[in-house]
Amino acid sequence: MTTAGSPEADSPDPWTGPAYGQAVSAGAGDLSLRDREGWSLPLDVRRWTGRADAGDRSVVERCVGRVLDIGCGGGRLVEALASCGREVLGIDVSPSAVASTLLRGGAARSGSVFGPLPKEGSWDTALLIDGNIGIGGAPRMLLRRIRDLVHGRGLLIVECAEGDVDECRRVRMHAGQRPVGAFFSWATVGSPALVRHALTSGWSVAEQWTVPSTERHFVALRVRA
């Protein structure tokens, strides 16, 4: 695919750049991930920054103990978990996402899942929601990293794509038709593929479910002893 425009020189990482930050702050934005071949994934910023829906509530109900929300976005899950009395921390590389979560009364800090994080090895539950299994473009590497963040019987809840998809692409964020930031690796993983990756990365499958009203799909994984 060819598009007009050029990357923003001051934003090699689109998740920390102004286009994504402004969309999070506004609660809306015409953003997508696109590769050179024409594949496109719309980014549902309005839902990410809104209130918890039925799919989110199904996740909240299954969380136990202290929760680490990886890629917390606008902070809706942190907010929902805190309102239930959970100890929860959101992490995100986007300063705007962290600020949004803090404004909602949640705890959040800037950081990457692959960098040093608080209380490593002691979290009861970790979350990869809104397609965040795609982070880094290498699901097994990400699953192994999270295996080190939770304790020996820890739980990981992952939101998956629909169907048996297992792809890694080099993508660029677009605001409308305009590319912003640099190309980066991103994975799209359906539930069957996630199960395959999990079984080779130190996890067993605890539960799989779909929330029909939201057409969202989830898998809960448990650290394999």
Q: Please determine, for residue 2, whether its predicted confidence score (pLDDT) is greater than 60.
A: no
Give the CATH architecture of domain 14-223: 3-Layer(aba) Sandwich (3.40)
Q: Does 134 score more than 60 pLDDT? A: yes
Q: Is a pLDDT exceeding 80 seen at residue 1?
A: no
Per the CB < 8 A criterion, the answer to whether 144 and 122 are in contact is: no
Calculate mean pLDDT across residues 96-117: 97
213 DSSP 8-state letter = T
Q: Name every residue whose Cβ is closer than 8 Å to that of residue 76 and which is 6 or more positions away in sequence.
A: 48, 49, 50, 51, 52, 56, 104
Please report, as a single letter, which amino acid is at residue 3.
T
Question: Which pLDDT tens digit goes with each residue over 164-205?
Answer: 999 999 999 999 999 999 999 999 999 999 999 999 999 999
Is residue 87's pLDDT more than 50?
A: yes
- 8 pLDDT band, cuts 50/70/90, is very low
Domain spans of the chain?
A: 14-223
- Residues, the chain, total? 225
| Measured CA angle at 174 (ends 14, 77), to 5 deg | 60
Rounded CA gap, 138 and 156, in Å?
17
Going by pLDDT thresholds of 50, 70 and 90, the confidence category of residue 225 is confident
pTM of the predicted structure, to 2 decimals: 0.94
With residues binned 3-state (H G I as helix, E B as strand, rest as coil), the percentages for the chain, rounded to 5, are: 30, 35, 35
Question: Per residue in 110-129, pLDDT tens?
Answer: 999 999 999 999 999 999 99
Strands 178-189 and 166-175: antiparallel
Of the pLDDT bands very low, low, confident and very high (cuts 50, 70, 90), residue 88 is: very high
> What is the number of other CB atoms lying within 10 angstroms of the CB of residue 30?
14
Average pLDDT estimate for 84-89: 97
Residue 7 pLDDT > 50, yes or no? no
Which residue is associated with the tokens 């629909």?
162
What value, to the nearest 5°, has the Cα angle with vertex 75 and ends 151 and 149?
A: 15
Average pLDDT over residues 12-18: 89
Q: What is the pLDDT of residue 12?
A: 65
CA–CA distance from 98 to each of 25, 110, 136 (Å)? Answer: 10, 6, 20
Q: What pLDDT, on the 0 to 100 scale, is given for residue 91?
A: 98
> What does the pLDDT look like over 28-86, one tens digit per residue?
999 999 999 999 999 999 999 999 999 999 999 999 999 999 999 999 999 999 999 99
Nearest to 173 by CA among 161, 186, 188: 186
pLDDT band at residue 9 using 50, 70 and 90 as cut-offs? very low
Please give the residue that has the higher pLDDT: either 8 or 114.
114
